Structure 1
Amino acid sequence: MSGCPLQRISLTAHHGTCGKQGALKKETLTKRIESFVNWANREAEMHGLPDQTIPEDPHGPIRMGRFRRTLAWHIARRPGGLIALAIQYGHMRTVLDARTSSGYGSRGRRGIHAILDVETALVAADTAARLRDRAAAGEKISGPAARRALTAAAHAPRFEGRLVPRTFAKKASAFLARDGIVLYDNPDAFLICAFKHDNALCEPEPGATAPRQYDCRPGCGNTVRTDAHARQLRERADQLDQFAAHAPGPVSRRLRANAHRLRETAATHDSTAHPAEALT
């Protein structure tokens, strides 16, 4: 094959020689977003999913600023998403987790701290709303921070369908600074962390307003679990047993040991959990 290999796979707006490779222009990105919306709607219709179409926006076409926030919203709500969000936008503050880290090898772009704070606050509010809904549905709750988490969930705002203005960044920062009553979902550890700095076994930095979710440790005084977490623990244990059945001896033993530990954690929840009414 002849020609420039980069040109054949280029995502840029330029077509021609290799010398014209470069970043997408704002106008081209706007067109690409429009094309993406059209493609998503066609796919939704093709698969019979009309509720998944992207409706016409009363505030006008989606431009780069709003699309950036939309991407941030989806990234932040995936497991480990806040870390991925920090990497994507060029700054590791959520990993280092302290305001003082703003000078640590900073590649931060304008407004990145505000974006991270806003998304962190919205995710925390979503976690509180889910805990509130599960408690109202009759799920039992366990953990040393269960009572504190329920109190926090009862007073946490619900942000569904809300526009997020620029002024919300300061409110988000103040929301996260409420030590002991901000709830962080940790799907990898099958728990909610009602983060209180002095109780945290993950050894957060001084002044940190969020846990080190990648270093969650058993026995932490910030732990909260619901019946849903117990079910997830058992489902994960079943998956590990399936993996163990096809793994070499040493690996199989470790997998089965982990599965046993997860089932013990679920059993501890069952034996110590209480309905919300008994905890409030």
Structure 2
Amino acid sequence: MPPSTGVGESEQLFTRTLYWYAKDTCMPRTGLSCDTAVERIRAFTAWANQLATAHDRPHDRPHELIPPDPDGAVALRRFRRTIAWFIYRQPGGRIALAVQYGHAATAMSESYAGRSKADMLEVLDQEKGHALAETLTEASERIDADEKVSGPAADRYRAAAAEFSARYAGTYLGRRELRALVANPRLQVYEDPKAFLTCNHDAFTALCNPDRDRAGDGARHTPDHSRCHPACANISRTDSQITALRAEVARIDAEADARLDPYPIAARQQQRKAHLTAIIRRHEAQQPADTEVEERR
């Protein structure tokens, strides 16, 4: 690799120092044209393959070399699903993705006289299905690792993980399978990292849903993480989430020792610490179900 290319020397794939002929007048972190981005992806692929060859990585290791793409050059439009993946999994991502891809659909409609190829609703449904599958896969792995599950929805969490493993584990999830996964009321499992819990969503009992008493039409089909209630019957927690809780308690203690927070904030943090500590104690005090012990034997 020529040292002047700059590939691999920066955390950014599309840095302006990728080529020796980069103009000094270009400002860092500015946008690239589509043609420039395609060329830089091509250059990165060539550099990665040169590096693999230099380290004697043979072709029988498919993860070492980037093979030629049968569909042609990798253009920016082919990152559509990648962008959707990252947007959807952020807090409020469903709304952000709808806005982003709604704009994309509008722009494409204007460009192609109304013949839009961007089906926003299909993208939303697919990303929801993939997110559910990843959450349930992680749930199965935690249970297989003998992690304890606590909370009022612990049994539903274990049942959902078992059903997902029995029906979908190791299989290809196409559109049909993803639609079935999203439509299954027993598999509505959502991680909430900021609240250190898993929501086993039931629209009729969810305390985050102000319309839970209305049958059918007014019920939310996904949890509202901004309104998560600690007394909700849909909550479950695993050992992994309790580990994250302990780290949060340690962070609060470190801030208290530093004595940098104003008194109202420090007092509020101590109240939060007491709440989190109580959750940890309840989790540690809960014993595994008898059926779970039998299954492990």
Whether the TM-score (by the shorter chain) exceeds 0.5 is: yes
Give the Cα–Cα distance (whole angstroms) in 2 for the partners of residues 133 and 110 of structure 1: 35
Structure 1 unaligned blocks of 5 or more = 1-5, 14-23, 92-107
State which drifts further: 79-88 or 268-277: 79-88
Give the Cα–Cα distance (whole angstroms) in 1 for the partners of residues 146 and 288 of structure 2: 10
The one-letter amino acid paired with 2:205 is N
State which drifts further: 211-220 or 174-183: 174-183
Contact 1:241 1:255 in 2 (8 A): no
Q: Name which structure has the greater RCO, CA cutoff 8 Å, separation 6+.
A: 1
Q: Tell me, what secondary structure is at the counterpart of 1:199?
A: coil
Contact 1:237 1:259 in 2 (8 A): yes
2:86 maps to 74
Contact 1:118 1:172 in 2 (8 A): yes
The one-letter amino acid paired with 1:221 is A
Give the Cα–Cα distance (whole angstroms) in 1 for the partners of residues 188 and 208 of structure 2: 16
2:281 maps to 267
Offset of residue 181 of structure 1 = 2.5
The one-letter amino acid paired with 2:143 is A
2:192 maps to 186
Give the Cα–Cα distance (whole angstroms) in 2 for the partners of residues 232 and 86 of structure 1: 31
Q: Tell me, what secondary structure is at the counterpart of 1:225?
A: strand
| Per-residue Cα deviation, 1:22-72 (whole angstroms, up to 9, x for no partner) | xx5xx5553354456568x59x98xx9x99978336544433443111222
User: Would you say how many aligned residue pairs link Structure 1 and Structure 2?
Assistant: 237
Contact 1:141 1:273 in 2 (8 A): no
Residues 8, 134 of structure 1: alpha-carbon distance in 2 compared, 3 angstrom cutoff: closer
State which drifts further: 27-36 or 252-261: 27-36
Alignment of 1:74-153 (within 5 A): 74-78=86-90, 81-90=93-102, 110-153=118-161
| Per-residue Cα deviation, 1:89-113 (whole angstroms, up to 9, x for no partner) | 348xxxxxxxxxxxxxxxx993111
Contact 1:79 1:188 in 2 (8 A): no
Name the % identity. 31
1:248 maps to 262
| Per-residue Cα deviation, 1:79-136 (whole angstroms, up to 9, x for no partner) | 6554544454348xxxxxxxxxxxxxxxx99311111211111111111111111111
Pair member with larger Rg: 2
1:11 maps to 31
| Per-residue Cα deviation, 1:167-218 (whole angstroms, up to 9, x for no partner) | x1x5434422222422111111111111111111111662532111222111
Residues 63, 7 of structure 1: alpha-carbon distance in 2 compared, 3 angstrom cutoff: closer
The one-letter amino acid paired with 1:190 is F
Contact 1:202 1:211 in 2 (8 A): yes
Residues 192, 38 of structure 1: alpha-carbon distance in 2 compared, 3 angstrom cutoff: farther
The one-letter amino acid paired with 1:235 is A
In the alignment, structure 1 residue 197 sits paired with structure 2 residue 210: no
In the alignment, structure 1 residue 277 sits paired with structure 2 residue 271: no
Q: Tell me, what secondary structure is at the counterpart of 2:194?
A: coil
Contact 1:143 1:273 in 2 (8 A): no
Q: Tell me, what secondary structure is at the counterpart of 1:193?
A: strand
Give the Cα–Cα distance (whole angstroms) in 1 for the partners of residues 274 and 68 of structure 2: 50
Contact 1:128 1:152 in 2 (8 A): yes
Give the Cα–Cα distance (whole angstroms) in 1 for the partners of residues 223 and 117 of structure 2: 24
In the alignment, structure 1 residue 257 sits paired with structure 2 residue 268: no
Contact 1:117 1:173 in 2 (8 A): yes
Contact 1:238 1:259 in 2 (8 A): no
The one-letter amino acid paired with 2:195 is A
1:96 maps to none
Give the Cα–Cα distance (whole angstroms) in 1 for the partners of residues 240 and 68 of structure 2: 36
In the alignment, structure 1 residue 210 sits paired with structure 2 residue 222: yes
Offset of residue 149 of structure 1 = 1.7
